[in-house]
Amino acid sequence: MEKETRKMRRKVLPVLFLFFLTSHIYIANGQFTPEELAQRAEWEDFLKTAEIIEYQDVGEGVTKPIWLTLKKGDVVRKAIWKNPKGVQQGYLEGWQYEIAAYDMDKLLELNMVPPTVERKFGKKKGSLQLGIDKLYSELEIMEKNIEVPEEMIDNRSDRKYITRAFDSLIGNEDRTQQNILFNTSWRIILIDHSRSFRSSKMFAEQLMYGKNGIKGDLLFRRLPRSFVEKIKALTFDKIQETVGPYLNKKEINAIVARKELLLKEIEEMIKEKGEDKVLY
């Protein structure tokens, strides 16, 4: 395939769905409104079945992602396709982990990962994730000293703690300020999970974040009560049913092991600070 963009004489129409509205409303655990969540299955179908009318290299990233422009009916939307596999630059990469992260996000009702499905492109299997209307990345906010709207400051802090807990559970060793995005309504969206679901002994015995985290003592100080209850309810069978063919038994067992570590740390936080200070 050519690396440059394939030019097509087609007009890219405005987005007609509501998945990423410019509203400041967000639900308790996640960043997508109930209306947006109700259309998630439609977006999954769109990603799987829409016609590819254009493609273009993203131009950055170790995994060499590709922007696909999709069209179905009157709807035209961009999505990002990846198919990394194996060790690259010292890290195990897997396109299937992008889909598993989305499936786990749905199971936990965090609703912070954009719709992601399996789709072939050029006869190769890969993950395809719906693009979002990005306003800034966390890195851009830090580097450019961009002021976050006052009404979103507390939400930003809470999402940070939820992100750390989620990454700890799924063994994501590659969360950076570049893959924490703010959409046009300042809601936080999480992308890039191809280095998740680590299953070596270290990742099964130690959390990514927390008091003794692999990434240092970056804590998750406050968490939604409903999120913690969802974590408690996780079992090997429930995870396997959710992630389908995208994780093997060792990777699922590692999630179960991290679940226990995460719950233990949360319980210690509650004993130290009080439940009302930790859960909301």
Tens digits of per-residue pLDDT, 68-119?
A: 999 999 999 999 999 999 998 889 999 999 999 999 999 999 999 999 999 9
- 142, 262: one domain: yes
Using CA atoms, how far apart are residues 52 and 245, in angstroms rounded to an integer?
25
Under a CB-based contact definition with an 8 Å cutoff, are residues 251 and 239 in contact?
no
Q: What is the pLDDT of residue 42?
A: 97
Q: Which residues pair with 78 in a beta bridge?
A: 69
pLDDT of 15 higher than 80 = no
What are the structure tokens assigned to 253, written together? Answer: 């067992």
- 77, 176: one domain: no
pLDDT of 2 higher than 80 = no
Q: Per the domain annotation, does 13 fall within a domain?
A: no
Q: Per the domain annotation, does 3 fall within a domain?
A: no
Cβ burial 37-76 (10 Å sphere, 16+ → b, else e) = eeebeebbebbeebebebbeeeeeeebebbbbbbbeeebb
- Mean pLDDT, the chain, whole residue set: 88
- 139, 88: one domain: no
Q: Pick the closest to residue 101 from 132, 127, 64, 77 (CA basis).
A: 127
- 257, 271: one domain: yes
- 234, 110: one domain: no
Using CA atoms, how far apart are residues 94 and 86, in angstroms rounded to an integer?
7
Q: Per the domain annotation, does 21 fall within a domain?
A: no
pLDDT of 14 higher than 70 = no
pLDDT of 147 higher than 80 = yes
Q: What is the pLDDT of residue 149?
A: 93
- 167, 109: one domain: no
- 45, 145: one domain: no
Q: How many domains does the chain divide into?
A: 2
- 145, 122: one domain: no
Helix (H), strand (E) counts: the chain: 10, 10
In what helix (H) or strand (E) does residue 7 lie, and over which residues does it extend? none
Q: What is the pLDDT of residue 21?
A: 34
Using CA atoms, how far apart are residues 96 and 217, in angstroms rounded to an integer?
29
> Which residue in the block uniquely carries the two structure tokens 């969540």?
37
Q: Which of the listed residues 102, 130, 158 is the one where a domain comes to its end?
A: 130
Q: Per the domain annotation, does 8 fall within a domain?
A: no
pTM of the predicted model as reported, rounded to 2 decimal places:
0.88
- 140, 273: one domain: yes
Q: Per the domain annotation, does 12 fall within a domain?
A: no
Q: Per the domain annotation, does 255 fall within a domain?
A: yes
Q: Which of the listed residues 130, 165, 188 is the one where a domain comes to its end?
A: 130
* Span 210-227, pLDDT tens digits: 999 999 989 999 999 999
What percent of the chain clears pLDDT 70, i.e. is strictly above it?
Answer: 88
Alpha-helix residue ranges (DSSP H) falling in 117-248: 138-143, 153-170, 201-205, 225-232, 236-243
C-alpha 54 chain-centroid distance: 25
In what helix (H) or strand (E) does residue 28 lie, and over which residues does it extend? none
The pLDDT-based confidence of 167 (bands split at 50, 70, 90) is: very high
- 99, 152: one domain: no
Q: Per the domain annotation, does 15 fall within a domain?
A: no
Q: Which of the listed residues 95, 130, 165 is the one where a domain comes to its end?
A: 130
Using CA atoms, how far apart are residues 119 and 47, in angstroms rounded to an integer?
8
- 147, 95: one domain: no
- For residue 45, what are the domain limits? 34-130
- 145, 84: one domain: no
